[in-house]
Amino acid sequence: MRHVLKAAALALLSLSAPALADACKGRNLFDTMPADRKARIENAVRDVPFREGLLFQAEKGDHRITLVGTYHFGDARHAPMVDRLRPFITDAAALYVEAGPREESRLTEALKSDPSLMVDPDGPTLPERLTPEEWQQLSTAMADRGSPAVITSRLRPWYVSMMLGISPCMLDAMESTGGKTGGLDHLLVHQAQKAETPIRALEPWDTIFDLYADLTPAQELDMIRAALPSAAYADDYAVTLTDAYFSGNVWQIWEFGRFDAYDNSGLPKSEVDEQMSLAQQRLMDDRNRKWIKVLIDGADKARANGRGIVAAFGALHLPGQAGVLNLLQDQGYSIRRLDG
């Protein structure tokens, strides 16, 4: 159970994912992808606003926000971005992240004190809800991630689907490093602490538990079914998505997952699209809209002292019609890419 709790913190804490992504020795699936699927992915991302880039400046008069899209797992390739952002953080009135150290601590304690947050003690078990073939595939994948079948059987489906998206090699690296190596969010928080720059959270610590609260039983199981195929080649998946991130092809990451599910999940295309739409709404779009007020208020307070703010959050929150950059642009901010 101790390993499962560590994995839970890894899956749920946006800034404290301490696994080493570069410890995964898989292959980039774009290198062997059929040309027609690659063309479909490229076509899907073509018209998405701000589909490329990790580092941006948003300005409106004397309001200034420096925004960086992060990857929540450790990787040696984060170093240049940390160096680039160090002076911005030192000069900023505050660093805004999805969850700061206080939120991280509260979430970790909640997971330890209330197992029902990720375990369903009363309802039907996953073996009872899935087909025998699906349960066998799931229990094997979760065992690779440190969760025995007896525990997996009672885990909440939304948490299982998140865990399936994390490569076992990342979890192994987390265990071997004792949680001492973090993703870009964690590294930037460390820089802010050194510079004595205040750290602010974009949302409450328990936001994650509200995102899936009203899913139907069928939606819960479809989340697992959509995530299961990629779990079998999770190391390859991790390398593919990590390489896409560091090349700045942010929305390509999202569409890669969609087309992989089309081909391998066994779900009808309409159900895959429904799952993707639901996930985008819950995990990104709805949260982005709430963050805009926090960011604008923070920039307004900072300008009183002639300063700006820095915001660091998962890279998939940057692009799209309801992405943070487009929403700021709708509020009159001019957006300039700094890393292209």
pLDDT on residue 294: 98
Region of poorest pLDDT, from 79-88, 127-136, 204-213: 204-213
pLDDT confidence band for 75 (50 / 70 / 90)? confident
Q: How far is C-alpha 20 from the geometric centre of its chain's CA atoms?
A: 15
Largest CA distance in the chain: 62
**H or E segment and range at residue 237:** helix 234-246
Extract the runs of DSSP E, i.e. beta strands, from 255-333: 309-314
324, 80 contact by CB (below 8 A): no
For 199, phi then psi, to 5°, come to: -115, 125
Non-local (6+) Cβ contacts of 221 within 8 A are 129, 130, 157
The contacts of residue 164 (CB under 8 Å, 6+ apart) are 138, 141, 142, 145, 224, 227, 228, 230, 231, 234
Quickly tell me which residue has 């460390």 as its tokens.
190
Q: How many residues does the chain have?
A: 340
pLDDT band at residue 23, thresholds of 50, 70 and 90?
low
Average pLDDT estimate for 87-96: 98
- pLDDT score of 237: 84
| 3 state DSSP class of 154 | coil
How much is the average pLDDT of 257-272?
86
Beta carbons of 276 and 245 less than 8 angstroms apart: no
Q: Give me the phi and psi of 57, to 5 degrees please.
A: -120, 130
Higher pLDDT, 189 or 253: 189
Query: Poorest-confidence range of 44-53, 172-181, 195-204?
Result: 172-181
- For residue 91, pLDDT beyond 90: yes
Cβ(58)–Cβ(50) under 8 Å? no
Mean pLDDT of 70-97: 94
Above 50 in pLDDT, residue 215? Answer: yes
Least confidently predicted of 26-30, 82-86, 131-135, 168-172: 168-172
Q: So what's the pLDDT on residue 193?
A: 97
The answer to whether 241 touches 28, Cβ cutoff 8 Å, is no
Predicted confidence at residue 235, as pLDDT, reads 84
Q: Mean pLDDT across the chain, nearest whole number? A: 87
- Span 242-263, average pLDDT: 90
Beta carbons within 10 angstroms of residue 49's beta carbon: 15
Q: Using the 8-state DSSP alphabet, how is residue 265 labeled?
A: S
User: What is the average per-residue pLDDT within 138-154?
Assistant: 93
Shortest CA distance to 192 belongs to which of 297, 71, 97? 97
Identify which has the larger pLDDT, 259 or 25: 259
Other CB atoms within a 10 A radius of the CB of residue 42 amount to 12
